Amino acid sequence: MVKIGRSEMKIVLFKYFLVFHCILLTSLNAISREDSDSLIRQLETLKGKQKLEVLENLSLEYSVGLEADKYFKYSRDGLEYALSEHDSSYISTFLIELGYYYKLKHAYQEALNSFNRSILISTRKGYKRLLANGYTGLGTIYLELNLYDKALANHSKSLTIKEEIGNNASLGVSYNNIGLIYYKIDDPIRALENFEKSLNIKLLNGDTARTILNNINLGLAYSELDGKKEGEQAISFFKQAIKLSEKYNRPHRVGHAYNGLAKVYIKLLNYDSAKYYLNLSVEESFKNNYKLLESSNYFLFAKIAFQEGNYGVAVNYLDRSQALLVKLNDKSRIKNNYGLYSDIYAAEEMLDSAYFYQKKFSIMKDSIFNEELANNLANVQIAAIEEQSQRKLDDKDETISNTKLFNFFLLSVLILSVVLIVVIFKNFTQTNRINLQLNESKNKIEVQKKNLEKKNKLLADAQVTIQEQNDELKNINIDLDKINIDLDKKVQERTAELDRSNHELEKAVKDLDQFIYKTSHDLRGPIATMQGIISLGEMEAREEQSKIYFNTLHNVANNLNNVLIRLIEVHETYQKKLVIEPLDPMQEILEITDKIAHFSAEKGVSIETDLQINGPWNSDKKLFNQIVDNMVRSAMLYKDRGNSVILVKADLKDEELKIVVEDNGFGIQPGDEDKVFNIFFKGSPRPGGTGLEIYTAKIAIEKLGGMIHLRNAAKNTIFEIALPILKK
C-alpha cells in the first residue's frame, strides 16, 4: 500500500479544486452569455428609453469581463443613440462608461476627456448622482497617473455629493478610494481609517459580498505597519478575503490576497509560506492576465532571493518585474524596484551600480512625492474640513430660522385665540341679557370660566416653552461665536506659518546665490596658478610620458576653469536686471556665428543660417547674445560625424521672435528628453562641455519671458525658442 504524504495530498486536493473551479466558471459564463444574447436580440425591436436601458445593461455586463471590445461597442453605441435622442442623462452615463474603458486601455487622456464631458453635462443639468460618479472616475485616473493631490480632490468632491444626496450605499466606495490614495503616499494610518469606514458602511448595509476588496486593502495597510500584532491582523484580513472570494464565487480578487499574504510572511522571514502563496498568486495573475499583479509577484520573489543571498536570481526576477512596469508606467512600483536593485548591488559590493540605482530611486521618489504634492494634499484636506464646518453652520442657521418661524406662528395662534375668546365672551354676555333663564346662563358662565382657566394655563405653558427656546437660541449663538473664533485662529496660524516658510526660502536662495558666486570666484585664482605651473612643467619636461601627463592636467584645469566661468555666467544671468534697448537680431546672430566659425571649423562643424528678420527689435542685448552663443556652442560640442552641420533659423512674426537651432550631432538618448534642461546634464557620454550651456540659455530665455522646447530628439536635435518683444 502506497502512503501519500501531507504535501502530496495538498497538491492533489488543489488540482481537484482547480478543475471544479473551472467547471463552475464555465457554467456561470454560459448562463451570463445566454442573458447577454437575450438582451442583444431585444435591441432590434426597442426604441427610446427602453433601448437605452438595454444598451446600458450590456455595457455593464461586459465591463467586468475580459471582452473589452464589446464593452467599448455598447458604450459607444449607447452614447450615439443617447445623442440622437437628446437624452442628457444617458449621454452622461455612457461618457462615464467610455471613461472607464479608456482607463482599462491605459488611454488616460481620452478617459479624462470623457469624464470631464460627463461632469459638465451633469453639473449643467443637476444630475448629482452622475456628477459624483464622474468625479470618482477622474479620481481613479489621477491615481493611476500618480497625481495624488488631484485624485484626493476629486474623490473628496464625490464623497461630499454622495453625503449631500444621502447615497449611503456608495459612500463605502469613496472612502475606499481615498484610503488607496493614502496607502500610495505611504500613510497607512489614514489609509486604515478610510478602509475601515468603507468596510463598516458595507457591513451595515448587509453587502458582505462586496467587502472582499476592503479586506485586501486593510491587509495591505496593516502589512505596512511594524509589529507582530499588525502582521497577524494583516494575515487575518487577507484570509477573510480569500474565504469571501470562495463563498461568493469571485475568484478574480483572490490573487491579490495571496500576494498580500506573501508580503506579510516575507516581513516575518517565513519564506516557505511566502513562496507558497506567491506561486498561487502567479497562477491567478496568468489566468486573469493581471500584469500589475504579475510584476508585484516577481518583485516579492526578488526580495526573497535577495534576503536568502541569491543575488543573481533576485536581479533576474527584478528585470522581469521592471519590464512589465515600464509598459504599465507605474512610477510608484518602478521606484520600489530601483530601491531593491540598489540594495542588491550594494550587498554584492558593486558600488557604482548601487549608486546608479539609488540615484534613480531618489529622483523617482522626488518626482512622485515632493513639497508641492504635500501642500496640495494638505490644502485638499483643509478644504474638506472647512466644507464640513460650513455645512454644520448652514444646518444651525436653518434650525435657527425654523425656530423663529415656529415662534412667530405660535404667537399668531395665541393672538387669534385671545381674539376668539373675547368674541365668545361677548356672545355669551349678549346671550345672558337676552336669555331669561338665569340658571342656564350661570352654568354657561361657569363653563366659560373653566375654559378660560385651561387656556390661561396653556398660555403660561407656552410662555415657558418660548423662554426655553430663547435660551437654546442663545446657546446656539455662543457656539457659533466659538466656531468663528477657532476658524480665525486657524487662518492666522496658517498665515504666520506661510510667512515663516517664505522668509526661510528667500534666505536659503540668497545664501545659495552668495555661495555659488564666492566659490566660483575664489577657485579661479588657484586654478590660474595651477595652469601656470602646468605650462612651466610642459616646457621643462624632457620625457614624452611626462609631457602627456602635463597635457592631461592642462586639459583638466581648462575644463574646471570653463565650468567656473559658466557658473559665474549662470549667477550673473540670474542676478542681471533687464536693460531693454533696440537691437538687430540678424546682425547679432551673424556676429556670434562668425565669431565661433574658426572654432567650429577646427571641430569639423559647419554653421549655416536662415534668417527672415527685417528691422529692429526691443530686448536685452546681453541676454539675447548669451542665448544664441550657448545654444550654438552646445550643438558644436556633441558632433557625431565628419559632415556635422548646425543650422540657425530665425523668423519675426506677430511681435514674436522664433529661433530654431538644429544639428545632426550625437542626439538626445531616449528617456533623457526631460533632463536636457537640467543643470550639468550632458546628453553625450563623450568628454567636452560643462552641461551648463543649455541650462544658461534656458535661464536667459525665461528672464526675457520666452520659452524653449525640444523636439525630434531621436534624429536631428532641434531646439525651438520663442521670445516676445519687450517694451521699454
Contact 622, 584 (CB under 8 A): no
State which CATH number among 1.25.40.10, 1.10.490.10, 3.40.50.300, 1.10.10.10 fits the domain covering 46-166: 1.25.40.10
- Quick one: which of 182, 144, 178 has its CA closest to 160? 178
Q: What single letter denotes the amino acid at residue 398?
A: E
Confirm if 281 and 249 have CB atoms less than 8 A apart. Answer: no
Quote the CATH superfamily of domain 170-279: Tetratricopeptide repeat domain (1.25.40.10)
The amino acid at 122: S
Tell me if 241 sits within 8 A of 253, measured CB to CB: yes
Enumerate long-range contacts of 370-379, CB under 8 Å, 24 or more apart. Answer: 373/148, 373/149, 373/185, 376/149, 376/150, 376/153, 377/148, 377/149, 377/152, 377/185, 379/149
From CA 574, how far away is CA 620, in angstroms rounded? 14
Closest CA to 455 of 422, 432, 499, 489: 422
Contact 665, 638 (CB under 8 A): yes
User: What is the tens place of the pLDDT at every residue in 597-610?
Assistant: 777 767 778 888 99
Cα 321 from chain centroid (whole Å): 23
Rounded-to-integer distance, Cα 361 and Cα 370, Å: 14
Q: Is the dihedral of CA 139, 380, 383, 180 positive or negative?
A: positive
| pLDDT of 408 | 64
Please state at what angle helix 544-575 crosses helix 693-703, rounded to 10 degrees: 10
d(CA 274, CA 235): 12
Residue 146 has which C-alpha cell? 500618480
The whole-number pLDDT of residue 5 equals 46
Q: What is the DSSP code (8-state) at residue 166? A: T
Nearest alpha carbon to residue 240 among 226, 261, 262? 261
Q: What is the DSSP letter of 36?
A: H
**488 grid coordinates:** 480665525
Between CA 546 and CA 166 the distance in angstroms is: 86
| Nearby residues of 700 by Cβ (< 8 Å), 6 or more positions away | 573, 623, 624, 626, 627, 630
Cβ neighbours of residue 621 closer than 8 Å, sequence gap 6 or more: 579, 581, 583, 588
**3-state class (DSSP) for residue 652:** strand
- The pLDDT score that the predictor gives to residue 688 is 62
d(CA 330, CA 292): 9
What are 471-496's pLDDT values in tens digits? 776 776 676 677 667 777 876 877 77
Q: How many CB atoms lie within 10 A of CB 482?
A: 10
Looking at residue 169, the DSSP 8-state letter turns out to be G
Closest CA to 258 of 225, 228, 296: 296
Note the pLDDT of residue 2: 35
* Helices vs. strands in the chain: H and E counts, helices first: 23, 7
3-state secondary structure of 658: strand
Low-confidence ranges of the chain (pLDDT < 50): 1-33, 371, 382-383, 385-386, 389-395, 398
Q: What is the DSSP string of 110-150?
A: HHHHHHHHHHHHHHHHT-HHHHHHHHHHHHHHHHHTT-HHH
| CATH 3.40.50.720 describes domain 578-724 | no
Locus of grid cell 495530498? 9
Biggest CA pair distance of the chain: 157
Per the rule left: phi > 0, alpha: psi between -120 and 50, beta: everything else, 711 is: beta
d(CA 118, CA 166): 21
Q: 716 - beta bridge partners? A: none
- Fold topology of 290-369: 1.25.40
